[in-house]
Amino acid sequence: MWRTGKRGRLEAMRVADGAAQAGARADPAEVARFRDLTAAVRGASDPGDAAVPSFDAMWGGVERKLEAARAPVAVPREAAEAAPGLLARLLGDRPLFVLAPAGAFLVAVVLGLLFWTRPPAPNNQCFVDSYDAGSGSVIIDQDFDDSDRPTVIWFVEEG
Amino acid sequence: MNVRADPWARPHAVRAAAGLAVLIVAAAALPAAADAPPPRAMLTVTVIEARKGPPFLHDALKPMWEMLRKSLMLRKSFGEKFGYYDLLSASDRTVDVDGRVEIALPDGDRFAATYGGITPEKGLLRVSLEYGDFRTKVRIHDGGSFFQAGKRFREGTLVIGVKAALEKAR
């Protein structure tokens, strides 16, 4: 009498793998199915099988790319030796303490150049105290709200 | 007991002495200031022909373009808007009080600007203009400019720019 159920399948699996003796209480048909399945799985994982793609070529390409990425960049020796050390010494442990004042100084210099090198706009406010014309018309065109704008004293002759 | 007299212990006496010292210094300085000659001034007179026409600005007028634009272009003056500005002549001179700069206008008239010194209150420069039978007196800030315009010339008008600036201390 063959074992059935879960125990029977486990027994058949062990027999198919050679872990148990054939003829134990395993169903030979079940054992045969497990053997077929094992053969199919092994066959599928065989690299010689054309149906299964080979990953060797892909891994080879990946390894070549990794090696290329790991290769050191050609940097002049003096620069490689001096630059990182100098910058690190300048910046110290808290680079913001150096970079923030330096940035503020740079902004101040630019603003200073923009504003202080430009001469101040002259005050063109003009106060007309008197005018005298034998003929014609005199018109004072001025705007005291705009000190840049020069006054125009129009004298339009008759005729 | 011998107690030394401390002059700072008498505030009224110290204040009086300080006040007297200030008065003496001021009295000494006043005649010197009164004797100082009034500052000289540089008067610059620029004669410009302005008229309608294709936009044109003489190279020498480029520094005063912003003033021309504000005074004559942005405003519609007597139905005209000028776009053509040509330099006809210019003259500048550093003068003492009552010194004048004269320039011949293209129509044969003469234009004169006279420096009348500075006002005591605000230090404004007094300038008077005259040409033909037209006279005017103005006060302007140091380095300031104004225009006199209206005299007909060709198809436009003559615009005369006057700038007055105190001579810088040597």
| pLDDT tens, position by position, B49-90 | 998 888 889 999 988 888 887 777 666 554 457 888 999 999
Q: Do B135 and A148 touch (CB under 8 A)?
A: no
**Is A124 an 8 Å CB contact of chain B?**
yes
Q: Do B149 and A148 touch (CB under 8 A)?
A: no
User: Both tokens of residue A125?
Assistant: 């406010």
Distance CA(A31)–CA(A20), nearest Å, equals 11
Please work out, in degrees rounded to the nearest 5, the angle formed at the alpha carbon of residue B29 by the alpha carbons of B25 and B34. 155
Amino acid at site B116? G
Q: Which residue of B has its CA nearest to A128?
A: B138
Q: What is the pLDDT of residue B146?
A: 93
Q: Do B137 and A129 touch (CB under 8 A)?
A: yes
pTM flag (> 0.95): no
Q: Which three-class secondary structure string do you get for chain B?
A: CCCCCCHHHCHHHHHHHHHHHHHHHHHHHHHHHHHCCCCCEEEEEEEEEEECCCCEECHHHHHHHHHHHHHHHCCCECCECCCEEEEEEEEEEEECCCCEEEEECCCCCEEEEEEEEECCCCCCEEEEEEECCEEEEEEECCCEEEEEEEEEECCEEEEEEEEEEECCCC
Q: What is the pLDDT of residue B79?
A: 47
Per-residue pLDDT of chain A (159 residues; tens, 9 = 90+): 666 788 888 888 888 888 887 666 788 888 888 889 888 888 777 655 555 666 777 787 888 888 888 877 666 666 666 666 777 777 777 778 888 888 999 999 998 888 777 777 788 999 999 999 888 888 888 888 888 888 999 888 876
- Spatial CA neighbour of B103 closest among B126, B131, B127: B131
pLDDT of B113 above 80: yes
Residues of A in contact with B141 (CB under 8 A): 122-125
Nearest beta carbon to residue B145 from set A124, A138, A154:
A124
Residues ≥6 apart with Cβ < 8 Å to A73:
none
Distance from CA of B129 to the nearest CA of A (A): 9
Q: How confident is residue B9, by pLDDT bands cut at 50, 70 and 90?
A: low
